[in-house]
Amino acid sequence: MDKGVVQLAPSILSADFAHLGKQVGEAEQAGADRIHVDVMDGHFVPNISMGAPIVQSLKRVTRLPLETHLMISDPDSFLEEFVEVGSDSLLIHWEGNNNLHRTIQRVKALGKRVGVVINPATPASVLEEILQDVDQVLVMTVNPGFGNQNFIHTTLPKIRRVREMIEQIKPGCDLEVDGGIDATTSSLTVDAGANVLVAGSAIFGANEGVAAAMERLRTAANQKKT
C-alpha cells in the first residue's frame, strides 16, 4: 500500500564507532529522518551494545531525533536516564514486560514519543489494547540482538495486519520495521504497510558509502507497487 514518503532510520549498531559523529553526520546530510540507537543488556537479548553516554554524545552532533530501542530486561529503571541525555522517543518491547501500560504512560509523562515493539514470534493481536496509547509500532523483522541478519519473510502478513489495526484504532501511528532491511526487502515491507524503515548494515556497512546506500534504499522503498 502507498503510505506516502517512507522515512529512514539508520541504526548506528553497524556504524564505525571510532567515527560515529562523522557517520551520523553523513546520514543527516543524506536526509535521514531519525537515528535509531539499539540498547542491549546481554540479558534480554544475547548481546551487549551501548547505553546512555552514546545518546548524550550524539545529541551534541546531530539535530535528528534520536529514537532509542530498549532491548533490556528492566526498561523502567532507565527511562529517566535516556530522556535526560536526549532520547526523543523510547521503543519498549511487549515481551517480558508485565506492566507495559505503566511503562508507556511513564514515557508519555516524561514528554517523549513512545513505541511498542513486537518480536517475530509475537502476534499482532497483543497490540489491540495498547495501540491507542502509542505513537508508533515497531515490528521486528529479525530476532533482536544482532545486526546484519536475514529478513524473516513470515513477518510480512503481520505487518499488513498491524497496518489494518492502526487504520482502525490509531490512524497516524507510525509503523516501523527493523532487521534485514535492504533495497529488496524494504519495498516488501512498504507494500505491506510500513512507513518507517530501520536499516543498519544496509546503510553503514555498504561499500558505496552512507549517502549512496541511503539513496538506493529510499528509491527502492518509495517505488510504487503495481
Q: Is 176 in the site for ligand DX5 (CB under 6 A)?
A: no
User: Should residue 11 be labelled a site residue for ligand DX5 when binding is judged by CB under 6 A?
Assistant: yes
178 noted as active-site residue: yes
User: What is the bridge-based pairing of β-strands 196-199 and 113-118?
Assistant: unpaired
Contact flag: residue 165 with ligand DX5 (CB under 6 A): no
Among 6, 8, 13, 85, binds ligand DX5 (CB under 6 A): 13
Does residue number 10 form part of the binding site for ligand DX5 (CB under 6 A)?
A: no
**Does 88 engage in binding with Zn ion (CB under 5 A)?**
no
Three-state helix/strand/coil letters over the chain: CCCCCCEEEEEHHHCCHHHHHHHHHHHHHCCCCCEEEEEEECCCCCCECCCHHHHHHHHHHCCCCEEEEEECCCHHHHHHHHHHHCCCEEEEECCCCCCHHHHHHHHHHCCCEEEEEECCCCCHHHHCCCHHHCCEEEEECCCCCCCCCCCCHHHHHHHHHHHHHHHHHCCCCEEEEECCCCCCHHHHHHHHCCCEEEECHHHHCCCCCHHHHHHHHHHHHCCCCC
Residue 38 interacting with Zn ion (CB under 5 A):
yes
Q: Which does 94 bind (CB under 5 to 8 A by kind): Zn ion, ligand DX5, none?
A: none
The residue number whose beta carbon is nearest to Zn ion equals 69
**14 part of the interface to ligand DX5, by CB under 6 A:** yes
* Interface stretch with ligand DX5, choices 73-81, 92-100, 174-182, 218-226 (CB under 6 A): 174-182
**Residue 176 lies near Zn ion (rule: CB under 5 A):** no
Grid coordinates standing for 98? 508485565
The yes-or-no answer on residue 191 being catalytic is: no
Q: Which of 51, 115, 179, 193 is in the footprint of ligand DX5 by CB under 6 A?
A: 179
- In the complex with Zn ion, the residue whose CB is nearer, 69 or 106, is 69
Catalog residues that contact ligand DX5 under the rule CB under 6 A: 11, 13-14, 36, 38, 69, 142, 144-149, 178-181, 198-202
Catalog residues that contact Zn ion under the rule CB under 5 A: 38, 69, 178
